[in-house]
Structure 1
């Protein structure tokens, strides 16, 4: 499994290039090879038995472990400051995988009402099929968060920087509530990336990512990840029997007792990936590793461009508002400076005067911005959330998520900022007609 055995004194820029891989011992290949392989030879019958009994860590079948994916997991654990990581097929898969060791039918998760539209749908409807429930809350009201937790609550879930509204979560405050309630805080860190924010440093237990976005950075590779801090005491209560009680499928082995800080990660592989099968493809892991090697360089450019574009939009009379914590006018600016000193990413929204129809005209008129349902690409992207990603939500849910009818979401890429501004200028002119 993936452990953070890297030198903690190394900087982020060094870890993003080196963590998790020292070269292929068989061939000397310096870059991580693509192990496009399904199963692995056992040394003998005893070796096979030890692997299946979890007495020895190794490779059995690529649904569970794969060397290319394993290198990515080790790198992500190092960058987020976690004990271990599990990669899977998508960001949505990561959210289900994160909850899987924690939840039983009838349990609930307390969830921020400022989430990506697909996540709202997943938490509102899909998880009910597992017998799980969600309680949506406003994270700006700590009392509401605390009151929503009851004896069947098993986690609190939020985004570090919300998509699309750009809300900056006060992670230390929410982490303190989770600690008092004896449950883990799960933070989706997709928009910020570990370069801008390390939720574990602010009290998070688990961090999830859609690696599809900024981590790969090139719009080619689907993937998700769960990074465990290794700091939560799963045996402190009877809330988490999958980790604190004997597992029948492994002859009564107790994951937290047997593996300590790696108990959650090993359970995610040995049970979660084994039974849910949400496996990351080796090629996608390879592409994501390549992307991570330049993460800090790209994020610096993303943030600088986003700030310049947001400031220009805020000064334009055709724009009703800009929701970006990097602006001094943002109600989250002070919090963002404290928790995210390198910036709050490059995803933000703005209001177009003229409402829904004006937004549609603007999106259709843009030329450099790609109109598609993604974020975190090297290219600048645009979408009208109310008619696409958040279309399935009620008007009240869209408003709470920051995706009203007059709102356009931008994911600012690494092009020249002046070129992006010129494109927005001509498109706003057509939107106002």
Structure 2
């Protein structure tokens, strides 16, 4: 029997997880707009509910359109399985849900999206969880933050908003030594630029709203399981290693092996948290992923040109783009993101906060929105919007200081992007 072909990324982004519809022959994945699925008989229904057979029960748990998307993202990330959900924030909670418990904590990077900082510093307290925020460039500080109640380590591959690149290999080493899973948010990089599992990540989370969909139409999230973590190596992860009362004592890791986290995410996470992705959103994201590599190439190409131009502008104090040789994280690009440093970065204005506010009102081509990863170029002032809920010290630590603007560089003509910034800066 011949071996299955090993397809390249560009092929997988079009074909992974998808097959012609068996009923109609439809080539594009249909939108299965249905709530429930007819069982063959009573025994079939019982087997599905007992997790003895894989299939479709109810669209809060699984849906054929969403299942194709989960398989495609997992394949592109090099994982064994994936779970799709309603948003990136939902993906973060679902990633932590099987790992945490009252009194447990997660060690997180200080360089995170402001909404994630708020979710981790405020909202998860209602579950009895907590987070410790540490500069992930200080490995000793990361090690010191880990205690007996730590259950995960969390970071972003390319951090929002500043485009900071995390040394995933080094952080994975710390996580491995502590016997803890490393969760990496790969939203800003996408698997085209970075595959965190190859650098030691246990789980990868995405806001599929951003670059994966790429067109600013739908929200969504995803969790990809590497399948490499031994959930039974200690007593720290009973949700995955101990008997599950809701399934008559079934042990997820013992039963499903490398797919334990994926099955738990569906059978418990989606069942009880209900953070479901709708099939139409999955359809839009599938169509977006088909052109992911092409878009990311242009995002990177344009970002290098725009960041290089901004760095020489007399009104600009600094540019954070890791793709610039002047960046302190430039050497990590070749190791962590070999195809480029992404399309997201910040720049600071010498005239500070008020100048930033005026600039976002002066652009024409750029859209002033709270989003990133769109085909369009986007701009926002994080300190007054996405990171407004943080203290100034937290804003600075996250790369969103008051004098800083975040840009998500689109796929328009680079000369037009630069011209829009030039005229806006002239008016500030």
Does TM, scored on the shorter chain, surpass 0.5? Answer: yes
2:68 pairs with 1:71: yes
The structure 2 residue matched to 1:346, chosen from 343, 348, 353, is 343
Tell me the TM-score normalised to structure 2 length.
0.99
User: 1:50-93 deviations in whole A, cap 9, x for unaligned?
Assistant: 00000000000000000000000000110000000000000000
2:247 pairs with 1:254: no
Name the structure 1 match of 2:86: 89
Q: CA RMSD in A?
A: 0.8
* Bigger shift: residues 44-53 or 8-17: 8-17
CA distance in 2, matches of 1:7, 1:98: 31
Name the structure 2 match of 1:136: 133
User: 1:366-385 deviations in whole A, cap 9, x for unaligned?
Assistant: 00000000000000000000
2:239 pairs with 1:242: yes
Shift of 1:8: 6.9
User: 1:193-250 deviations in whole A, cap 9, x for unaligned?
Assistant: 0000000000000000000000000000100000000000000000000000000000
Name the structure 2 match of 1:400: 397
The alpha-carbon distance between structure 1 residues 273 and 315, as it changes in their structure 2 partners (threshold 3 A), is: same
The structure 2 residue matched to 1:332, chosen from 305, 309, 329, is 329
CA distance in 2, matches of 1:166, 1:25: 43
CA distance in 2, matches of 1:170, 1:298: 25
Give the secondary-structure state (helix, strand or coil) at the position aligned to 2:361: helix
Tell me the TM-score normalised to structure 1 length.
0.98
The structure 2 residue matched to 1:80, chosen from 74, 77, 80, is 77
Name the structure 2 match of 1:191: 188
Shift of 1:7: 5.0
User: 1:262-302 deviations in whole A, cap 9, x for unaligned?
Assistant: 11100000000000000001000000000000000000000
CA distance in 2, matches of 1:332, 1:134: 25
CA distance in 2, matches of 1:48, 1:340: 45
Shift of 1:9: 1.6
CA distance in 2, matches of 1:287, 1:25: 21
Name the structure 1 match of 2:369: 372
The structure 1 residue matched to 2:166, chosen from 166, 169, 180, is 169
Segments of 5+ residues of structure 1 without an aligned counterpart are 1-5
CA distance in 2, matches of 1:248, 1:339: 41
User: 1:136-161 deviations in whole A, cap 9, x for unaligned?
Assistant: 10000000000100111000000001
Runs of 4 or more, structure 1, over 2 Å off, are none
Give the secondary-structure state (helix, strand or coil) at the position aligned to 1:156: strand
The alpha-carbon distance between structure 1 residues 250 and 325, as it changes in their structure 2 partners (threshold 3 A), is: same
Give the secondary-structure state (helix, strand or coil) at the position aligned to 1:143: helix
Name the structure 2 match of 1:125: 122
Name the structure 2 match of 1:105: 102
Give the secondary-structure state (helix, strand or coil) at the position aligned to 1:208: strand
2:18 pairs with 1:21: yes
Name the structure 1 match of 2:266: 269
The alpha-carbon distance between structure 1 residues 394 and 7, as it changes in their structure 2 partners (threshold 3 A), is: farther
* Bigger shift: residues 190-199 or 8-17: 8-17
The alpha-carbon distance between structure 1 residues 157 and 262, as it changes in their structure 2 partners (threshold 3 A), is: same
The structure 2 residue matched to 1:322, chosen from 319, 324, 333, is 319
Shift of 1:331: 0.4
Name the structure 2 match of 1:356: 353
